[in-house]
Structure 1
Amino acid sequence: MQKRRLKMSAIKEKSLKYNLHSWSAQGNLNPKVITKAEGIYFWDEEGKKYYDMSAQLVNSNLGHGNKAIVNAIKDQAEKIPFIGPGFAIDVRSDAAEAIVEASGLEGAKVFFTNAGAESNENAIKIAKQYTGRWKIFSQYRCYHGSSAGAGMLTGEPRHFANEPGPAGFIKYDGPYAYRAPKACKFETEDDVADFYLELLTNQVKYEGPESVAAIFLETVVGSNGILVPPAKYVTGVRDLCTKYGIMMVCDEVMAGWYRTGTCFAFQNFGIKPDLVTFAKGATCGYVPLGGVIVSEPIAKYFDDHKMMCGLTYSAHPMGCAAAVATINEYKNLNIAENVKKQGKVLGELLEDLNKKHACVGEVRYIGLFSAFELVKDKATKEPIVGFNDDPDGLMAKIVGMLVKEGFWTYSHENMIIVAPPLIITEEELREAMAILDKVLDSVDNMIK
């Protein structure tokens, strides 16, 4: 046992010596050494088990160690591990076909990328090429990636490092009724939709619709708080885009692949986007793969216009093989039904936490995609200070308490994300949420 601990300590030491870790001051890091992962759990070097209640980065939708995906990658590695993106091979065709069929966008095609940020980068380029316009709208309180273009789409502090950036990126306020201006008095979801649609419509008019190539939105905002838009808002954005010839781009990198109950989140709202970006749950992170689903009119445009997009690893064979296996597993395991069933349980548990705990300001959820805001006072909605403002503050302590109890997730500002693997059972869900309930008891005492 002593030799084992020494070996694992060396792993951590080497990591800190050679790896740069994202979104972190490197001198403060103490990464856990993970030795095993299975189902909805993973274990550290001390043998401690964690409920993976954020599905890692909301991408391990089918949990850890799915044999069908692993075997598909092995088989492809032995057959053709890599061939350039200009060649046609079976898994590329099969993956694109399966993705288009899952989207319900008849006549669409797929441009494959390596990850979500690249998907959004290429959606920007496709929208600009197709429309001949140059302005791109995206929401405040959104995350589309951290690369040059995707980072400028991002509407929260993680985009600051990309500034000043290229011209043409315009931010707008998306629906967030809980933090709306105090003067707003919303009685219905339609009132929320009408208010935010008016804001967006006015911005488009003042920017000049003829210059706007695309309006991007996370169909359901992810890490910035699981902001579920009113149905009228989503259909209103679709109508606005149609009216002015603007491309509606739904970022489904996090919300896609049954996270919200339907294969893609936009399917909850009965609309058809012009472009859909995806990654994460397409392979559940087993190997990298992302892409852009391009609707039929745009796809046909590129029949006689050169598409100025390209990546060495576009449609990587092992990524495509993993995607085919993953999509088959969603069906074989009846994931849509499990999300519907467990999502109902999760919603009920979250509402109970909201009623019970003084520190919970609001809970938001759809399917197995949820978050809750931590506040010092329910009446004033004063938030508990988040990591960005105070890395040694109360939010950091709360996340640390959850981790100590074996509940693994992450926070953003004053919000805690709860988005477990989609294979979770009711028993596992209730066990994990009991841990959360216990920790929130302590938080209630902290804010008194």
Structure 2
Amino acid sequence: MPSTAVPTTSPTTSVVPPPRPVDAAAVARTRELDSAHVFHSWSAQKLISPMVVTGAEGSWVYDAEGRPLLDFSSQLVFTNIGHGHPKVVAAIGEQAAKLATVAPQHAVDVRGEAARLITSHLPGSRLNKVFFTTGGAEANENAVRAARQHTGRRKVLARYRSYHGNTQTAIHLTGDPRRWANDSGAEGIVHFFGPYLYRSVFHSSTEAEECRRALEHLEQVITLEGPSTIAALVLESVPGTAGIMVPPPGYLAGVREITRRHGIVLILDEVMAGFGRTGTWFGYDVHGDGERIDPDIVTIAKGVNSGYVPLGGVVLSDEVAATFDERAFPGGLTYSGHPLACAASVATLRAMEDEGVVEHARHLGEDIIGPALRDIAARHAVVGEVRGTGVFWAVELVKSRETREPVVPAGATGAANAPMAAFTKACLSRGLLPFVNGNRTHVVPPCTVSDDEARWGLEQLDAALGEVFSA
């Protein structure tokens, strides 16, 4: 059960906070400056109209009219402890007054404590050193660099339907269409298929069958590529943006056995799945076998401090770290282990410990979100599948349950994306900020969202589906 420190509301009390006053002139100026000077990611600049956010608190953000929107996106799935947590805000201010910034070559108390807290929650005893970055892409970039140096090999395996970041190596690792425009084929990346029973490429009918066939496929790819040429295998413990496909029991352990047998470094990307999102501290422990999986490197970001100040990291096993005991690691970042980011991390992780946030996330998945989504799926023919764990869920929308054809094609824009655009609009009109990607909506609120807030948000999602996709 969740800790009493996690916010709750009475069923008889409206969960929606009142609107906030806004300065219309300031909002207009924000729009003007954004349009004139801000270049947005993954976007055709003239075809977007970004929503102005005027504030945020807890599980809510406020739009240009001061209207509250329940954040079912956690922004980009990183505000795990919600917006404006007072302990984290205070920690950032206190650190700024004490030591606002410092070069990474110096030792700083808050950096060491952040690293200690991070490693203390990782299953097993081998992961003890953290190389800090400013985000997940840099973490994956440097993880691969460390693995190549450690093994003396070049090739890296990564799965289709994945996202690992937008730096040179990380975007090549990525297995979704965002890679295409950036893929020069020069980074030594080989992609393979992971388990995804709903759209199985292995023609499986059960999770156990999908797991076995996916592992057989991986073994074959390694054999054909040449085990002695492969430095690392990079895998999201639970693929996030690509669809929140929780791996079947035994899959990650099977990958660990294969990589260990061939001397391949196993890098688990926990950037999105880590720090409570799956109802466990880390996604690779979702089936309770994290110590058995025992990765060589774990990459982190997002929930490590709920995104309050940019922070990521590469957590190295003792064996990989020892490679650099007497030779220099060939990499570094100006803001590695920035004091303000580390202070935010320390405060975030302590708050998560004290307030039972991970336990609450598990409860939400088992008792609130999972049951409600399964009920929604039973009543809406457009829902092909719901899947997930903790506060990490995907709702897959299809034209037909028989054919499983997505309601919009991959990469759809303009008229082709009209159904999902209408769904997004219907959610917003009801006070819900969704996370929509392709033909899916992801249910990924903060891990601290209250039971009643989650129920209310799911009711709005239900109503939006009915409005847009009713027969």
TM-score range, shorter chain: over 0.9
Instruction: Tell me, in whole angstroms, the C-alpha distance in 2 between the residues paired with 1:323 and 1:201.
Output: 38
Displacement, 1:262?
A: 1.2
**Residue pairs, 1:12-411, within 5 angstroms:** 12-107=31-126, 108-181=128-201, 184-186=203-205, 188-269=206-287, 270=289, 271-344=293-366, 345-386=368-409, 388-392=411-415, 393-411=418-436
Partner-residue secondary structure (3-state), 2:398: strand
- AA matched with 1:131: T
Relative to 1, partners in 2 of residues 1:3 and 1:394: Cα closer, same or farther, differing over 3 Å?
Answer: closer
Instruction: Tell me, in whole angstroms, the C-alpha distance in 1 between the residues paired with 2:321 and 2:48.
Output: 46
Partner of 1:437 in structure 2? 462
Task: Work out whether residues 131 and 315 of structure 2, in 8 Å CA contact, stay in contact via their aligned partners in 1.
Answer: yes
Relative to 1, partners in 2 of residues 1:435 and 1:244: Cα closer, same or farther, differing over 3 Å?
Answer: same
- AA matched with 1:336: V
Task: Work out whether residues 387 and 395 of structure 1, in 8 Å CA contact, stay in contact via their aligned partners in 2.
Answer: no
Displacement, 1:44?
A: 1.1
**Deviation sequence 1:53-81 (CA, Å, 0-9, x none):** 01111000011111111111111111111
**Deviation sequence 1:209-254 (CA, Å, 0-9, x none):** 0010111111000011100111211111000001001011110000
Relative to 1, partners in 2 of residues 1:109 and 1:2: Cα closer, same or farther, differing over 3 Å?
Answer: closer
- AA matched with 1:301: T
Instruction: Tell me, in whole angstroms, the C-alpha distance in 1 between the residues paired with 2:66 and 2:423.
Output: 22
Provide the TM-score with structure 2 as the length reference: 0.92
Instruction: Tell me, in whole angstroms, the C-alpha distance in 2 between the residues paired with 1:373 and 1:402.
Output: 16
Partner-residue secondary structure (3-state), 1:372: strand
Instruction: Tell me, in whole angstroms, the C-alpha distance in 2 between the residues paired with 1:2 and 1:352.
Output: 37
Displacement, 1:386?
A: 4.6
Residue ranges of structure 2 left out of the alignment (5+ in a row): 1-19
Displacement, 1:444?
A: 2.9
Instruction: Tell me, in whole angstroms, the C-alpha distance in 2 between the residues paired with 1:391 and 1:149.
Output: 30
Partner-residue secondary structure (3-state), 1:215: strand
Residue ranges of structure 1 left out of the alignment (5+ in a row): none
Instruction: Tell me, in whole angstroms, the C-alpha distance in 2 between the residues paired with 1:391 and 1:287.
Output: 34
Q: Taking every aligned residue pair, what percent have the same amino acid on both sides?
A: 41
Task: Work out whether residues 56 and 409 of structure 1, in 8 Å CA contact, stay in contact via their aligned partners in 2.
Answer: no
Task: Work out whether residues 135 and 170 of structure 1, in 8 Å CA contact, stay in contact via their aligned partners in 2.
Answer: yes
**Deviation sequence 1:34-63 (CA, Å, 0-9, x none):** 112100001112121100001111000011
Instruction: Tell me, in whole angstroms, the C-alpha distance in 2 between the residues paired with 1:368 and 1:242.
Output: 31
Relative to 1, partners in 2 of residues 1:272 and 1:391: Cα closer, same or farther, differing over 3 Å?
Answer: farther
Q: Over aligned residues, Cα RMSD in angstroms? A: 1.5
